[in-house]
Chains A and B, each alone.
Chain A
């Protein structure tokens, strides 16, 4: 089976050579669920690009559509009830949506991988971790069990699982939460994918373990030059690692910006609210202020701006007209708010105050 592997490597090299096209490009993605005859718009126009070695964080509350969007990119949405109604997902310029499933499948795990929130339920309880990691090599590379096992041990050592060889025959429930997440990561990175989508990779873990896992991910990303899409609700996780941040609200993009820019000068009241509701280490701040209310039911979005019912700045126009995503400040900073410019400006004043 060696030729296949060579061929694939060559293929990858060829794709990398394709000039101009970014590693991953998501454009105007729309996902709809059909539930009991009703349409639920889970994702309404998500766009971002990801370069090699870059990290894009997708930030949002539960139900903001961030996980659904990730699964759409990965091609593992249940269709039906889900349906991708519009948009494009391009990997090195190649359109993935509409690709025959047979072809698409070979990309999953090989060129785009994904890790999930709760490794205990995301790993199959009745197979050993060795079985589950080896499966990647066996299915995608046609390797024999013996060779696959050797690779699996190598991989487990790489994600720093102690006495990897002995633990190959253990079942997921015999590992600690952090170790299980390492196994998920090892499995996802087995074939050295170009893109890794991490869906809340640390949410189920203790704070100290969270940091270890994030460091491991960052190290592996450097080593493999992967693009990383980090999906999370936790601003704390995003802070140190993300190059760019996309803030999602009720299926739409509220704001996207380079990470520093977003922290320094948010241009959407929702982002402002998010930042005010978590403790920050980078500056002294006042009391934590929660965002009032709850996110809207995606089955019955209010007309106009979806954040309007909770927005402290809302005016008449907000309940009538949906704000478009417009550029504010520097290139790459865009926000969907009728008052983006004002918020952006106010943010700079406020920051100037507290910085000074």
Chain B
């Protein structure tokens, strides 16, 4: 088990380095001089510019800059913005908003997605099944911003069921509608995956055995089918949590949630490299950790691939 974890961690390191370097390189390829931009119209004295460039390691070659950045990262230092704020301070408040949003969306996927999937999977070919299948296809097809605005206008504004924007009402109320919108895509995939998996497992030989043992239908489905069926679903849900954290830009924008996605998006436009790289690094880290956790969980759920 520990050797497996160690091996996976070892595999994750080049991926982490590659991904963060890629982001780092792209951000620093952004045109324009951030130091000049900082000063606005007024030209800075060359000495000051040089000092600042030295401070932000801008005079070094890209690779050296990156290594210095990594060195700071290892000590828990995400760097500082060009106007002197610590990147970790800029992100900390935003981080909680995004985490709450992602968690809400994830819970929707988990509860409603699996619920719908089980419901449809047990009744393959029925009206319920067709409805779930059609509904989820539709949700997958409608781009998230269209869905977001429609939900905001209809459910929030016209029907007044939810707060339309902002975070004043706190968790969970303010996050319900955005969470639903953000989670809708994943929810659809979870429902479809669950449905297929359940329907497939219901035809498995061991399900026939379970009936032959004289078990009730509830027990056959609940104990002998569900666990096997949910293995791929849980894998998906795990990986999707990472995606939700990183993919909330649009939802945060529509519902005016000051999350990490909005921050990064604005920072890109403002060419605030350190913030973009810092936030992206954290996102990649979350993604990799979640993936590792999912791999381990998979081994627990399916004894056939338990590692030593």
Contacts and interface: CB of A to CB of B under 8 A. Distances in A.
B55 interface: no
B210 interface: yes
Given A121-B205, A123-B206, A139 B215 contact: yes
Given A126-B227, A139-B219, A108 B206 contact: no
Contact of A124 (B209, B212, B214): B209
Given A126-B303, A171-B303, A173-B304, A135 B206 contact: no
Nearest to B213: A109
B204 interface: yes
Interface stretch (A110-118, A212-220, A254-262): A110-118
A173 to B, nearest CB: 5
A79 to B, nearest CB: 12
Contacts of B303: 125-126, 171, 173
A139 B213 contact: yes
Contacts of A184: 209
Interface centre among A108, A113, A118, A126 (most CB of B within 10 A): A126
Contact of A122 (B208, B216, B219): B208
Contacts of B301: 126
B174 to A, nearest CB: 40
Contacts of B304: 125-126, 171, 173
Contacts of B216: 105
B228 interface: yes
A76 interface: yes
A123 B224 CA distance: 10
Interface string B224-252: 10011001000000000000000000000
B60 interface: no
Contacts of A171: 303-304
Interface residues on B, range: 20 to 34
A3 B121 CA distance: 40
A74 interface: yes
Nearest to A136: B213
SS class, residues of chain B in contact with chain A: helix
B228 A140 contact: no
A123 B206 CA distance: 5
A135 B301 CA distance: 19
Nearest to B209: A122
Contact of B213 (A71, A121, A135, A173): A135
B228 A108 contact: no
A312 to B, nearest CB: 38
Interface centre among A71, A109, A113, A118 (most CB of B within 10 A): A109
A76 B211 contact: yes
Interface centre among B210, B212, B227, B302 (most CB of A within 10 A): B212
A116 B205 contact: yes
Nearest to B225: A124
B205 A76 contact: no
A285 interface: no
29 contacts: A105-B215, A105-B216, A108-B212, A109-B213, A109-B215, A110-B214, A114-B212, A116-B208, A116-B209, A121-B204, A122-B206, A123-B206, A124-B206, A124-B209, A125-B206, A125-B228, A125-B304, A126-B227, A126-B228, A126-B304, A127-B224, A135-B215, A136-B213, A139-B214, A139-B215, A139-B219, A171-B303, A187-B213, A188-B212
